[in-house]
Structure formats: C-alpha cells, structure tokens
Structure 1
Amino acid sequence: MIPEPTGSPRSDAFAKIDPKFQMTVRDHVHRTLRAAILAGRFATGQKVNERSLAEQFGVSTTPIKEALRQLETEGLVEALPRRGVIIRFDMGWAEEMILARAALESMIAHLAAKRIGKPAGAELTAIADLMAKATTSADADSLVSLNEQFHEHIHRSSRCGYLAKLIERQQFYDASIRRVIHMDPAERQKALEEHIAIAKAIVTGDADLAERQMRNHVVRSGETYLNIVFGSKKDIGRE
C-alpha cells in the first residue's frame, strides 16, 4: 500500500483484526493508527471518527479511544473540547522527529564504535554485505528487513538501552514507506553506500566519523520521507 504524497486521507478501510491479536487489541490499534498517521493517510486538522475506525478494525470504541489517548501523548493527535480528536501531525512535526532520531541514532553509532567487539563487528559487516547483494538484485523486501537488522545490531552493540528506548518514538516511517523508497535504484545505491560507510566507521572504532555518517544518513533518508508523504523538497540540513 503506497502512501499518498500529499498527506490527504485515504478512502480504503483498515483491515479487521485477526482473532489471534485479541489479547493485544489496544497495542495493535495504536501501532496501526500511528503508522497510518505517519504515512500521511490522515490530513492535518482532520477529525478522527472513532466509531468509523471501530467498525473498520472490527472492535469496540474502547481500544480506539485508548489508542488515541496514547497517540495524544506522542503529540500526533489532540482532543479538543466539543470538537473531538483531530490530527496534529504535520511536516513541521515530522522534521522534528527526523532531527530527534538523527541525534539519537548518531550518538548510538558513536558509542557502538567505542564498544563493539570483533564478533559483533564481523556480524555488522556481514549484514552490510547482504544489503549489497539485495541492492544488486533490487530486492526491496529484503532491504527493508536488513535495514532494520542493521540498525538494531548497532543499538545492541552500543549497549545503550535508554537511548534505544527513546528512539522508538522517533521511528518516522514504517515498512511500507521504506519499500517505496527502496524501489528507486538511485536511492538504493545511495543508502547502501551510507550503510557501508557507517559499518566501516563503527568496526574500525572511528566514533566521530560513525556519529557524523549516521546523522547524515538519517537526515537524508528523512528528507526522502518528507518528499513522499508531503511532496516536500526541503533540505532540513546536513553537515
């Protein structure tokens, strides 16, 4: 499902929740709505219809309300008196999320370069090698999975539990948008070059270079995201 670049609402409904998810309905609804908001499927200022969402998910309005309260704490929606819940996420908010993630990821990369051991370094290099093969074969699905593995491995190698936890709220696009990004041959090649450079800096213990490479990578990929979701060509700044 490819997100529309203008941030306009989508007409397609959400799929009903499979019974196996019934024990975690609230979390499932929260994750699904969050991804939809970040993908631009709701317009800024749009009122959220709780009853319609409940029907689409095949649940009561209770988990919808709970999920919306959680999204409000993240600043993505806002409950207004006599107006209900509206979408607050916009391009400005997205830019801040990108910059916040860039700051966190770059510091994690810095510490990973100082703390990574030889076995973990070899594994990071191996992941980068697999990314090279997937790039050559234009395997977007594999690249999405390998990208997640790459960053998660750096998080583990840094041994930064607190920073890794903070970064969860700064994940500004989901697998569907990553897949769209990786369909572009030029983007695939650029991302590969950046990942290889980051891995090399971390494995060789160059903490300052790893920090700089990671920040530039996150910001540049964030700009690509802004272009897909908001149609923005804005440069939000890189070193």
Structure 2
Amino acid sequence: MQYFVMSYYFMEVLYSVVNTPLVGRERAIVMDVNECFGHFYTCFDVLLTIGAIFLILGTRKEASGVTLLLIGRVIHRLFFSIWTMFFYFLFNDSLDVGSLLLLMAAKINLRDQMDWFQSKYHILLLGGRLCLSSLYIIWIDEGLETLFSIVSFGLLVFIWLGFHCKLFAYLTVIALLYHDVFSNHWSMLWGWNDTLLSIQYFSLLFCKIGGFLMLSELGGGRWSVDGYRKRSGEKWEKKGNYRIIKTQTSA
C-alpha cells in the first residue's frame, strides 16, 4: 500500500519535470514574481520530493522523508493557497498527512519493532485516523446526495471513534470509488486534455485508497473504541484464567 500512497508524489514530480516551463511560469504568475523564481521554486520542490520518496521507500528513515514532504506541503500552501478556500485546502492536505502517518506506522509494524516504538506507533495510528477523517467532512460539505451525506457522516463517526475501524475503512474505499469514479466527479479523472494530469488525479485516488487500506490492516490502535474493547477482553480473559487456575488449585 505504500506504493499507492507514494504514487501521487511520484506523479507530481513527473508532471513538474515534463512540464517544467509551464509549471514554473504558472507559479511565478500566482506568486507575482519573476519567472526565474518560479522555475527555481519548481526545481526545489522536485528535488525535495524526490529526496523524500527515496528516504521513505529506499531507506529506514521514513520519518525524515515524511518531514520533507510536510515541509514542502506547508511551503506550497503558503505560496499558492486561495485563502478564501483555506479550510478546504486544510482538510484536503489532512488526507495526505493521514496517509503518510499511516505509512510510517506500517513501516514500524513491518519491521516488527512494536516493543521499541509502541507509543509512537499508536500516536501515528491516532493521528492518521483523525486526519483521514477529513475526507468525510469534505464529502458532507459537497452535499453530493442526501443519502451519500448520511453515509459519510456515519463513516466519519465510526472512523473517528475507531469503532470496527477495519470494516469501515473497507467501506470507505467502496464509497471513495463511488464518489471519484462512478458519480459526477468522474470528470476530475477523465475530463482533462492532458494525459499526465489525468494520471496524476488517478494517483491521488490511489493515495487515498492506500491510506484507508493501511488503516484497514492496522486498525484503530490503542486510542480507539476497538483498542478499548480489545484491552477489556484481554482483562476479562486474564480474570477468567485466574479463576480457573484458582479453582484447580483449591481442588
């Protein structure tokens, strides 16, 4: 799933490299600066993202890679945000952050370092789960359909609380496919004259799917309803075993 998440950043790099003159010029116009600075910023952004991708996928320093991506994202938002749509961009970027946090948690889980990074792991799961929940807020704000808004609100509550997190993460993937592919939002994927741009939007869809699939694999973590239920079950199981042992000893 990590490749699903990173495909979006790879396509960002590819699009910027292939269309460097256009991207640099557009950024210079938005920032109202000389065109040379727009090209300089584009090169800086590309190199930063490439370095982050290498650190995340090619080394064990994924935390450094994620930090680089977040720095790049913050700089990008400061320069290019439409401030009247600030909260939309905030929730949209939260999706990326959530996927990256879950990616870090998955890396820790794969390396079987849970004993060493137990607290960090559960913090990442909590942060990733809450950040991914911003997707439902965006859907509710869109007001696509009444039924879909109700479903989105239900998913928001269950994922935010971490109740049957794995199940509702899978259901979110289905809802995501419906929203981005089968509803009237399909034009965001297919309705571009630029093939690379269409592929980039597909990679963004894969990034979202990858984030929720990782959540479905990792679960809600300690700070969730599922985690509380698991701890309670283990506690009752220990009490039951203690009673059995005590009864056998008395006999």
Task: Place the TM-score, normalised by the shorter chain, in its bin.
Answer: 0.3 to 0.5
Q: TM-score, normalised by structure 1?
A: 0.33
As a proportion of its length, which structure holds more helix? 2
Q: TM-score, normalised by structure 2?
A: 0.32
